[in-house]
Amino acid sequence: MRTPAWAVSPSRIGRLRRWTRCDRTTGEPRARRETGVARGRLPPRLLRMSNRAVADVEGLSPERLVAQARACPALATARTLAEWVGTGREVTARGVLRPAAAVEACDLLGIEVPSRRLRSALDVHELMMVWSAAAAAGFIEVTGGRVAVGPGLGQWLEGTPENVLAVWASCAAQSLGLAGEAEPEDLEYLVVLATLYERGGAASSAELSAAIDELAGGPPFCECPDCTARGEAPGAVVGLLSDLDPDEAGAEDAVWALGEFGIAQARDEGAELTPLGHWFTDLLFRVNAPAADADAAELVAALSGLPDMVTELMGRSWLSARPPAAAVRELLAAGAAASGQERLTALALARGRGPEAAPAWREWAARDGFGAHARVWLAEQDGTEPAEADEAWVTVDTLTVLLDSLPADVPANLLPAILRAGAGAELAEVLPLLEGCGHPDAPRLAGMLSGDPGSGPVPAPIPLPVPAPREGGSGAAYQIKVQLRGVTKPPVWRRLQVPADIRLDRLHEVIQAAMGWENYHMHVFSHGSGEYGLPDRELGHRDERKVALSQLLTLAGDRIGYTYDFGDGWEHDIVLEEVLPPGTEVADPCCTAGKGACPPEDCGGVWGYEELKATLADPDAEDHEDMLEWLGLDSGDDFDPKDFSLAEVNRRLRR
C-alpha cells in the first residue's frame, strides 16, 4: 500500500496525525491501538441460531456434525457432571456445589482438588469451567437452593440434529465469548476463527500469531520508513508502552480452547478446522453477517466494535452487492449521522473500497464538516498535502471518539499523554489549528492537550521513568507497614522488615504470606512511575521482576499501593516507616508487629467481608450455615476477625 502523503507530512499537524492513523493499519487509528481501545467488545448477539438448517455447508452431513459435537471434550465432561447431578443436589448461597459435593464431583471428573476440606467449589477452577459449560448448554439449572438437570440435556441426548447443534453452538459461543459481550482475550478466538475461515480451514502458526498481533496493534511505535515517532517519543512513554509485551502463546492457547469444543485441531506448525468447525465458522461469518439489502446504518451498528478483519469479512456480502462508489456513498452518509465507534467503523469500511470509489468521495468533499474526511482521502490518492484545516478537523473527529470510548481500566490521562508526546515541540503550533478547525469538540480536545481545567479533565503528567536504584541499596534494610485499606474494627496491618533491594515480585510473596492471603489471584503495585505486576499488554502492567523496592520508596513516609484480586479489589497501602540504621542485617523478611485477621479469599471485598462477619455473628441469618460450611467452621464463634499471631506470620514467611 502506498504511504499517504500525510503519514510523512512536514506540516505542523503532521506529527499529531501520525498518532491518529498509520497507513499500515488500513484506517485503524494508532492512538486507538496504543491505548487498547481497539480491543473492545463484541456487539450483542453476534451469533444467532434461529431458523438455521444444519446442512447448509456443502458436504457436511447432519449426522457427522452431531457425532462430532457430542464427542467434544467440553460438553462430554459437562454431560457427565449433569448426569451425576441427577434429580438435584444442594448448592450454596452463591449457586455452586457445597464443598463436600464439589470434592465428590472432582473425583468423578478426575479433577485434582487442593484440599479434601475444600472451602468452596469456586476455589477449583477446572470444576467451575465444567460447571459453566454445563450451565451454558442447559444441562443443569440452579433454582431454589438446588441444582438439577436442565432441559438441554434431553435435547442433547434425544433431540433432532437441529436441537443438538443448537445446544452445542450456544454453549461454545457463550463459553468463548462470541454470543454477547466479550473480554479482550475472547477477541483472539474470533480472529483465529476468521483467519482459519478465510484460508479455507487451515492456517500456519505464523499466520494465526500475525492475526492476533494485528488485533493487539502490532509494534508499539510506527515503523513507516520516514516515521520518526519512535525516536521522538519521550522515554517515559517508550518505557510505558514497551513493557506491554504480547502474549506469545496467544495462538496456541486459542487453538487449544477451540479444540475443547471440537472446532479446531492443532497440526504441524498450525491448525485446521474440523468439519464441525467449518459449520460453526460458516454460521458465524456468513449466516450471521448483515443482509446484503440492509441499510448502511444497520450494517455499521452490527459490525461496530469487531476487529477490522472480522468487520471486512462479515461486511463482504453487503459490500459486494453494490459498486464501490455506491457503497461509499451509503457508508459516508451513515458515518456522518453516527457517532462514536460506529463512525470509525463506517469510515474504515469506506476507506477499504479503493480508487474506484473516488466519485463518492468527491461528492462528499464539497461538504463542510464531515467532508474533511473525503478531502483528506482524495489528497492521499493524489499524493498531495491535505489542507491543514482538514487535517485538524479529521484529527479532532477521530480523537474525540477515542477519548470518549476508552475502556474504564485505561487511565484517562494516557491518550492525551501519548498525543502530547507525538506532537512534541510542535504542540504549541498545533493547538491553535485544532481549536480553529470548526469541529464542535475542538475546544474540549485542545483543552485536554493543553491541560486547561475549563475544557474537561486535566490530564495528569506522563508517568515518570522508573527511578534509579538507591546508591548503596545492597545490604540496606527497610521497615514498612502494609495495611489493608477500608477494613476496620479491627484494622488489618503488618509491620515488616525487608531488604531495601527486594524485588517487587518477591515483595508480593512476602505480603501474601504476612497478610495471610493464598495467592490465588492477580495483583499489581501502583506508583507514580506506573503499575507493576506480571507484564501484561492488556492491563498495562510493567514487569515487577525488573524493579526493586528501593527504586520506588526512598524516604520515610514514601508510599506505594498494592492491589490483590481484581474482582474483590483488596487494596493495601505500603508505607516506608524507617530506613533502618546502617549495619542492620535483614537477610530474610520478618514481621515485628501486626493486627487483625486476614479476610477469607473470595468473600466479596470490603463490603462482602463486613456482610460475612455480620452473617457469622447471627445464627439466625439466612446464609449462616452456608458460610460456616464454606469456611469449614463448626460455629460462628470459631471465626475471630481480631485473630493475629506474630509467630504464625513469621512461620509462613520462613516457609
Cell of 526: 501502583
Res 626 pLDDT > 90: no
d(C-alpha 511, C-alpha 564), whole Å: 10
Q: For 176-187, how does the pLDDT look when each residue is reduced to its tens digit (9 = 90+)?
A: 888 765 565 678
Q: Rounded to 5 degrees, what are φ and ψ at 454?
A: -85, -5
Q: How confident is the model at residue 19 (pLDDT cuts 50, 70, 90)?
A: very low
For the ranges 233-242, 293-302, 490-499, the lowest mean pLDDT is seen at 233-242
d(C-alpha 546, C-alpha 242), whole Å: 13
Answer yes or no: do 172 and 86 share one domain: yes
What pLDDT score was predicted for residue 436? 83
What pLDDT score was predicted for residue 538? 65
Answer yes or no: do 167 and 229 share one domain: no
Instruction: Give the pLDDT mean for 277-283.
Output: 91
User: Would you call the peptide bond into 10 cis, given omega within 30 degrees of 0 as the criterion?
Assistant: no
Answer yes or no: do 385 and 307 share one domain: yes
Res 155 pLDDT > 70: yes
Asked if residue 383 is part of any domain, the answer here is yes
Answer yes or no: do 324 and 432 share one domain: yes
Answer yes or no: do 253 and 357 share one domain: no
Using CA atoms, how far residue 5 sits from 256, 283, 380, in Å, is 43, 41, 6
d(C-alpha 144, C-alpha 575), whole Å: 47
Asked if residue 610 is part of any domain, the answer here is no
- What's the residue count for the chain? 655
Instruction: Give the pLDDT mean for 523-544.
Output: 83
Cell of 292: 446484503
Answer yes or no: do 162 and 248 share one domain: no
- Return the residue matching grid coordinates 452463591: 94
What pLDDT score was predicted for residue 638? 87
Domain harbouring 220, CATH code = 1.10.10.10
Asked if residue 630 is part of any domain, the answer here is no
Higher pLDDT, 133 or 12: 133
What pLDDT score was predicted for residue 411? 56
**Final residue before a domain boundary, out of 159, 177, 195:** 177
Instruction: Give the pLDDT mean for 101-107.
Output: 91
What pLDDT score was predicted for residue 489? 84
Higher pLDDT, 370 or 31: 370
The torsion defined by the Cα of 180, 181, 182 and 187, in degrees rounded to 10, comes to 70
Res 325 pLDDT > 90: yes
Q: Which among 531, 556, 550 has a CA at the least distance from the CA of 541?
A: 531
Coil/strand/helix, residue 572: strand
Higher pLDDT, 16 or 305: 305
What pLDDT score was predicted for residue 121? 83
Domain harbouring 501, CATH code = 3.10.290.30
DSSP symbol at 176: T
Higher pLDDT, 24 or 189: 189
**Final residue before a domain boundary, out of 262, 287, 312:** 287
Res 474 pLDDT > 60: no
Q: How many Å is the Cα radius of gyration of the chain?
A: 28
Asked if residue 187 is part of any domain, the answer here is yes
What pLDDT score was predicted for residue 451? 60
Instruction: Give the pLDDT mean for 74-88.
Output: 93
What pLDDT score was predicted for residue 15? 44
- E-strand ranges in 304-451 read none
Contact 574, 527 (CB under 8 A): no
Res 38 pLDDT > 90: no
Res 36 pLDDT > 70: no
What DSSP string describes 137-170? HTSEEEETTEEEE-HHHHHHHHS-HHHHHHHHHH
Higher pLDDT, 10 or 265: 265
Cell of 454: 475549563
Answer yes or no: do 195 and 112 share one domain: no
Q: Is the pTM value of this prediction over 0.85?
A: no
Give just the sign of the alpha carbon dihedral 132, 189, 253, 39. Answer: negative
What pLDDT score was predicted for residue 320? 94
Asked if residue 26 is part of any domain, the answer here is no
Answer yes or no: do 311 and 433 share one domain: yes
Strand order in the sheet with 202-204: 202-204, 270-273, 264-267
d(C-alpha 440, C-alpha 450), whole Å: 17
Contact 473, 503 (CB under 8 A): no
User: Domain residues for 530?
Assistant: 477-597+640-654
Instruction: Give the pLDDT mean for 558-586.
Output: 88
Asked if residue 633 is part of any domain, the answer here is no
Answer yes or no: do 183 and 260 share one domain: yes
Higher pLDDT, 547 or 232: 547
Higher pLDDT, 91 or 411: 91
Q: How confident is the model at residue 524 (pLDDT cuts 50, 70, 90)?
A: very high
Answer yes or no: do 268 and 300 share one domain: no
Res 373 pLDDT > 50: yes
Answer yes or no: do 144 and 187 share one domain: no
What DSSP string describes 470-532? PTT-TT-EEEEEEEETT--SS--EEEEEEETT-BHHHHHHHHHHHHT----S-EEEEETTEEE
Q: Which among 611, 604, 608, 616 has a CA at the least distance from the CA of 643?
A: 616
What pLDDT score was predicted for residue 399? 82
Q: How confident is the model at residue 357 (pLDDT cuts 50, 70, 90)?
A: very high
Res 84 pLDDT > 70: yes
Res 65 pLDDT > 60: yes
d(C-alpha 446, C-alpha 435), whole Å: 6
Domain count, the chain: 4
d(C-alpha 596, C-alpha 230), whole Å: 50
Q: How confident is the model at residue 108 (pLDDT cuts 50, 70, 90)?
A: very high
What DSSP string describes 621-644? STTHHHHHHHHT-SSGGG--TT--
Cell of 378: 482524495
**Final residue before a domain boundary, out of 242, 269, 287:** 287
Higher pLDDT, 3 or 282: 282
Asked if residue 305 is part of any domain, the answer here is yes
Q: In what helix (H) or strand (E) does residue 301 lie, and over which residues does it extend?
A: helix 296-303
Using CA atoms, how far residue 418 sits from 8, 38, 237, 459, in Å, is 18, 16, 7, 11
d(C-alpha 252, C-alpha 309), whole Å: 20
Q: How confident is the model at residue 329 (pLDDT cuts 50, 70, 90)?
A: very high
In a 13 Å sphere around the CA of 555, the CA atoms on its Cβ side amount to 0
Instruction: Give the pLDDT mean for 604-616.
Output: 87
Q: For 379-406, how does the pLDDT look when each residue is reduced to its tens digit (9 = 90+)?
A: 989 888 888 889 889 888 888 877 766 6
Q: What integer best gives the mean pLDDT of the chain?
A: 79
Contacts within 8 Å (CB) and 24+ apart, 193-196: 193/258, 193/263, 193/264, 193/277, 193/280, 193/281, 193/284, 193/285, 194/281, 194/285, 194/307, 194/309, 194/310, 194/313, 195/309, 196/264, 196/271, 196/272, 196/273, 196/277, 196/281
Answer yes or no: do 261 and 297 share one domain: no
Asked if residue 518 is part of any domain, the answer here is yes
